[in-house]
Amino acid sequence: MNNEARRAAVAALIPLAESPDCRDRTDAGRSLAVFAEMAEAKGPLLGLVLDTGDTFVTRMTAEALLRRHDSAGLAVVAAALADADPNHADWIYTAVRDVFIVYATERDAAVRECQALSRDADERTRRGADLLAADLASFTPVLSPPRKD
């Protein structure tokens, strides 16, 4: 993996994340989500999940981060959720449902990641991870493993 090229890609996407056009910010959020594990991407991603201009940016960026199915994506979403106003929180939760409503195994894995993130050094991530885990546990995905009676 070429870290220099990855840093250059993130650097090129940051101006797009700051564009006045919500379509540019949405594209930046989806693209930057690929680099969520990189420190350089976390701040811009957090800003996009909490986008003040358009909640479509919020939803699409959160969804892209959640579709990573890993702690890097969940950590950004959790940190954003901790600071989100009710409107942004609703759109973040919509993204959570969109991503995790189908497979119980994916939802359960996300709950476990959130439980691990609830011990993160960052207080905001811990608080958001608890909120995210509670939301994930509140719904039943469409495809769940058969019950063992």
pLDDT tens readout for residues 66-96? 999 999 999 999 999 999 999 999 999 999 9
Q: Residue 60: which of 18, 21, 19, 32 has the closest Cα?
A: 32
Q: Which residues 6+ apart lie within 8 Å of 84 measured at CB? A: 49, 50, 92
Q: How far apart are CA 13 and CA 17, in angstroms?
A: 6
Please state, for a pLDDT cut of 70, what percent of the chain lies above it: 99
Average pLDDT over residues 132-148: 90
Residue indicated by tokens 């594990």? 37
Residue 103: beta bridge partners? 143
What local confidence, expressed as pLDDT, does residue 148 receive? 77
What local confidence, expressed as pLDDT, does residue 111 receive? 97
Domains contained in the chain, CATH given: 3-137 (1.25.10)
The identity of residue 29, as a single letter, is: G
pLDDT at 1 over 70: no
Average pLDDT over residues 122-129: 97
Q: What is the pLDDT of residues 9-60, one digit of tens each?
A: 999 999 999 999 999 999 999 999 999 999 999 999 999 999 999 999 999 9
Structural tokens at position 76: 């950004």
What local confidence, expressed as pLDDT, does residue 147 receive? 73
Please state, for a pLDDT cut of 90, what percent of the chain lies above it: 95
Axis crossing angle, helix 39-49 with helix 71-83, rounded to the nearest 10: 40
Q: How far apart are CA 14 and CA 148, in angstroms?
A: 49
What local confidence, expressed as pLDDT, does residue 59 receive? 98
